[in-house]
Amino acid sequence: MRAIRIHETGGPEKLRVEDVPVPLPIAGEVRVRVEAAGLNFIDIYQRSGLYPVALPFTLGAEVGGVVSAVGAGVTEFAIGDRVATAKAVGGYAAEAVAPAAHVVKIPDGVATRTAAALMLQGLTAHYLATDTFPLKAGDTALIHAAAGGVGLLLVQLAKRAGARVIASVGTDEKVALARGAGADEVVVYTRENFTAAARAFTGGRGVDVVYDAVGKDTFAGSAESLRPRGMLISFGNASGAVPPVAPLLLMQKGSLYLTRPTLAHYTQTTAELRARVADLFAAVLTGKLSVRIGATYPLSAAADAHRALESRGTTGKVLLVP
């Protein structure tokens, strides 16, 4: 079968299309015939070497498709089931395996590509809005990269909770998308002072929480945008890793809270994972959550997809289709 692998870290040109054996599921695993694989920044971090992996390595953790084989001991899935996961091993391929405990069935009415688009970015938006900082009516949130895959979903979930949202985006073309998701105010952070906008949005007080997936370019301004005892949630490095932070800075900026969460710690059990997914799927089915698939690329064009995501020219979810 075809797969996209790296033999050394570096730029998108390191991605190779190769023929590899079809993986065999071991005990507790299922194999999925991939219909769509989600492209995420973690794939770029692994390809570039920011997140080290054992080489050679097949990228891709987020997939949707059909069960094609089950390992020993797996009883809740059968060949032919439509499923999705954010824990696939080698998802940039025609077939991939995943632990059954991290696989979910896709309900009727939810397209496989939609499910694939939700498994990592949707779950991330969900835990950010419901647990890392449980948004409620009256809260104010600054959401960076609000036209991206996580951002568009996070804006919608924040509005569902009753929060007021000021969104930051990188280009004028993305303003309408953030507003369409429900943002109350939108700022183009590449040419406007988003800190001043956040302060104006809150009458000078500062926002309750900042959701920052951009990283190096926005971190300092994010801290300046918060009210005293506000929370800065740094959950991505799209512009590069955030430099080391002195704890004293948090005191100086208002006794702030700083966290750097990851999805694995918010889906530690199968029950927690499936409860989050069920909430997301229910919101899709009732029309309360819209999933934007901004672009699809054939698997063989994975390098082009990586270049598009790295340039921050994409909106919504980017999918690879074998």
Indicate whether 139 belongs to any domain: yes
Task: Tell me the per-residue pLDDT of 201-215, one tens digit each, with 9 for 90 and over.
Answer: 999 999 999 999 999
| Confidence band of 311 (pLDDT split at 50, 70, 90) | confident
Residues 175 and 308 in one domain: no
98 shares a domain with 58: yes
Kindly state the DSSP code that residue 93 receives in the 8-state scheme.
Answer: B
Q: To the nearest whole number, what is the mean pLDDT of the chain? A: 96
| CATH code, domain carrying 22 | 3.90.180.10
* Final residue in a domain of this structure, among 263, 280, 300: 263
Q: Is residue 209 part of a domain?
A: yes
Residues 58 and 135 in one domain: no
Question: Can you give the residue range of the structural domain that contains 217?
Answer: 122-263
Asked if residue 270 belongs to a domain, the reply is no
Q: How far apart, in Å, do the first and last CA atoms of the chain sit?
A: 10
pLDDT category at 257 given cuts 50, 70, 90 is very high
pLDDT at 107: 97
Does 93 share its domain with 128?
no
In a domain, 161, yes or no: yes
Amino acid (one-letter) located at 284: V
Q: Distances from the Cα of 219 to the Cαs of 116, 162, 191, 210, in angstroms?
A: 30, 25, 16, 10
Domain co-membership, 187 together with 85: no
pLDDT of residue 111: 97
The pLDDT value recorded for residue 237 is 84
Question: Has residue 283 been placed in a domain?
Answer: no
Q: Mark which of 246, 263, 280 sits at the end of a domain.
A: 263
Asked if residue 281 is part of any domain, the answer here is no
The answer to the question of residue 214 being in a domain is yes
CATH of the domain at 235: 3.40.50.720
Residues 112 and 133 in one domain: no
Which regions of 170-273 does DSSP assign to beta strands (E)?
Answer: 185-188, 207-212, 226-234, 257-259
- So what's the pLDDT on residue 41? 87
Query: Shortest CA distance to 238 belongs to which of 212, 276, 204, 257?
Result: 212
Question: Same structural domain for residues 140 and 244?
Answer: yes
What is the per-residue pLDDT for 241? 86
- Residue 151 · residue 287 · CB < 8 Å: no
pLDDT (tens digit, 9 = 90+) per residue, 158-199?
999 999 999 999 999 999 999 999 999 999 998 999 999 999
pLDDT-derived band at 312 (thresholds 50, 70, 90) equals confident
Looking at the structure, tell me whether residues 236 and 174 fall in a common domain.
yes
pLDDT given for residue 304 in this prediction:
96
Within a domain: 180:
yes
Do 109 and 149 lie in one domain? The reply is no
**Same domain for 98 and 129?**
no
State whether 220 and 132 are in the same domain: yes
Residue carrying the six token digits 């996209």: 4
In this structure, the answer to whether residues 48 and 67 fall within a common structural domain is: yes
Q: What is the pLDDT of residues 134-152, one digit of tens each?
A: 999 999 999 999 999 999 9
Residue 277: the pLDDT is 97
Summary count for the chain: helices (H), strands (E): 10, 16
CA 62 from chain center: how many Å?
10
